[in-house]
A and B are shown apart, each in its own frame.
Chain A
Amino acid sequence: MDRSTPRNDLILMVVFTAAVLTMPFWLAPIGAGYPDLLQKFAIFGIFAVGFNILFGLTGYLSFGHAAFLGVGSYTAVWSFKLLSMNILPAMILAIAIAGLFSLAIGYVSLRRTGIYFSILTLAFAQMSYNLAYSVLTPITNGETGLRVVRGDPHVIDRMFGMVEGESLPTPDLFGLRTIGWEGFYICAVALIVAFFIALRIFRSPFGLALRGIKSNQVRMSYTGFNTRPHTLAAFVISGMYAGLAGALLAITDPLAGAERMQWTASGEVVLMTILGGVGTLIGPILGAAIIKYFENIFSSFNEYTLEQTFSFLPDPLREGVVSVASLFVGEGWHLTLGLLFMLVVIFLPGGIMEGFRRLWRAITGRSAARRAEKLQPAE
């Protein structure tokens, strides 16, 4: 139970860092070893880690976190336009503005719990989405999406003597490009930092208080905790994570659109967290990676690739297999994901991380010992 010693956490952090930085190598065999996809793993990993600080620790299920992702993206693009193409101010501003935004939404939504809280957050996110398309067009540029165009002020860049050249300026980190492998490593470092902060929060007194709120809110208040500000702080922290993820999306592709705020995007992060394991540290990142992998790899399979894969089968059998399998790939990747999600929720309610834990116990033979402990007569 209490395996979270500082030493184990250090090992976890080292292994995690190494695993993230070497992703291009060990993910290459399954066709995921290219920067655009790995970038998405990292960005949505950050989004899910932040979401899990709220959902995993306090149990409050927000259905509107994509709003903060969108706010982060818009803020980052505005920072490019007005201030500088450097991504550092863009990230800091995105985190700050998303934090303010989540403070306002959280303040109102956290007056309710359970399903009412979820509905309130969903309503706020959909409101933001629709506003971005209509009234707020001067800020969001509506359907076209917000992007860097010629003649943008770039105040800070100009102070340092930037001259607008032939091509549009691109985001950079003090000269380091944000596309390709450089882009991936920027996102990877952000993910590692985000993960480290989440780890500290999980292990802190604040994290323990949040878990207390999830377990029994009534007891928390009779124990002397004012639970509302605790949940609000968790909500804001997770909103800031979403803001950072949104900024990174804009950094790797300097275009912000309102569809990032849609409820499907909010639902996606819920799926990621549940698929990987609610309340676990690594789970949400796994979930994010799996969903992005399916979205990008499975959806790219077509009948031709299937024919190739099953070419060892005799003709009539192959056609049958291919026509069945083609339901699950290409456009049908949602079906595969849906099935996977159902299987996980039914058989592994703790997500993929629970699967790993069970596997680990089976290997180390602890399961027998634990079961004996549980079977002891309770007086």
Chain B
Amino acid sequence: MENIVLHVDDVYKSFGGLHALSDIDLQIAEGKTHAIIGPNGAGKSTLLNVCIGRLKPDSGAVVFDGQILTGKKPYEINQLGVARVFQTPEIFPDLTVRENVIIPALAKRDGAFAVDAWRGMARENDLRDEAEAAVTDVGLEDKLGHEAGSLSRGDKRRLELAMCLVQKPRLLLLDEPTAGMSRLDTNRTIDLLKRIKARGMTKVIIEHDMHVVFSLADKVTVMAQGRIIAEGTPDEVRGDPVVQEAYLGGGHA
């Protein structure tokens, strides 16, 4: 039997009168790439935000590797091994690319709080090597000394990915990792994500780009109006009439 890493158990979330998530039940198997697709406003990003502690569900729970994430602080969830790539890149714009990646590596090594105010960063060769390896992984190695804020949008996304990868998380959540990227960059990112898969990292991807979904996903969950309407392998989902209707704008009307 597959080992379930992440279990979203019967989660409800509403904003005012809007049911952003209802009756969400989702199981993510270890080492798999799980895509969540659906039209705009289907509740995909809300679901990810519930998983990383940015939003609290009204009811239900998110269980990661036997631990309940609901109610935990974002940093605690990260320390358990969950990393997240945001839809709009969250990086450290004033720091160099290298420093951007060293910081997550530091959090992984020293924990959520450590006042290590005496040792010089210049002697942290291991951290720097790890960071440079992660930056090379995403193909930004010639921009190590650049200020992160000056990167192009596509490069910022790649940088954020490197910031997550350097922590070697058990679960990586990606919110539209290729949005705003050129075709070439998208293909590079797909290749990169395939390589990570070989390392046994579990991934949840929210994506609009079907090319990305069908090249990466082992399993696809389709959401619409805050509910899961279909689930299966990419081929099963592609042929599902309910999914086609949701994408063609049929909905509940």
Contact = CB atoms under 8 A, between A and B. Distances in A.
Contact of B152 (A4, A233, A374, A379): A379
Contact of A224 (B93, B98, B108): B108
Contact of B92 (A203, A216, A221, A227): A216
Nearest to A212: B103
Contacts, number: 122
Nearest to B109: A205
A211 B94 contact: yes
Given A1-B96, A221-B73, A379 B154 contact: yes
A5 B122 contact: yes
Could you say which interface size class chain B belongs to?
Answer: 35 or more
A4 B98 CA distance: 14
B124 interface: yes
B47 to A, nearest CB: 16
Interface stretch (B8-16, B143-151, B190-198, B236-244): B143-151
A206 B114 contact: yes
Contact of B117 (A4, A204, A222): A204
A229 B73 CA distance: 14
Contact of A1 (B84, B115, B145): B145
A6 B120 CA distance: 8
Contacts of B108: 224
A211 B147 CA distance: 13
A205 B104 CA distance: 11
A221 B121 contact: no
Interface string B101-138: 01110111011111111111111100000000000000
Given A200-B120, A221-B73, A215 B94 contact: yes
Contacts of B111: 224
A212 B92 contact: yes
B121 A205 contact: yes
Interface string A189-212: 000000000001101111111011
A214 interface: yes
B176 interface: no
B205 interface: no
A67 B119 CA distance: 31
B99 A378 contact: no
A212 B96 CA distance: 11
A39 to B, nearest CB: 28
Contacts of B60: none
A11 B232 CA distance: 64
Contacts of B146: 1
Given A205-B110, A211-B95, A379-B182, A223 B104 contact: yes
Interface string A241-257: 00000000000000000
The 4 A-B pairs of least Cβ separation, nearest first, read A224-B107, A224-B78, A215-B92, A378-B152
24 contacts: A1-B145, A5-B122, A200-B118, A205-B119, A206-B116, A206-B117, A207-B121, A212-B95, A214-B94, A215-B94, A216-B90, A218-B90, A219-B92, A220-B75, A221-B74, A222-B78, A223-B75, A223-B104, A223-B107, A223-B167, A224-B104, A225-B75, A378-B151, A379-B152
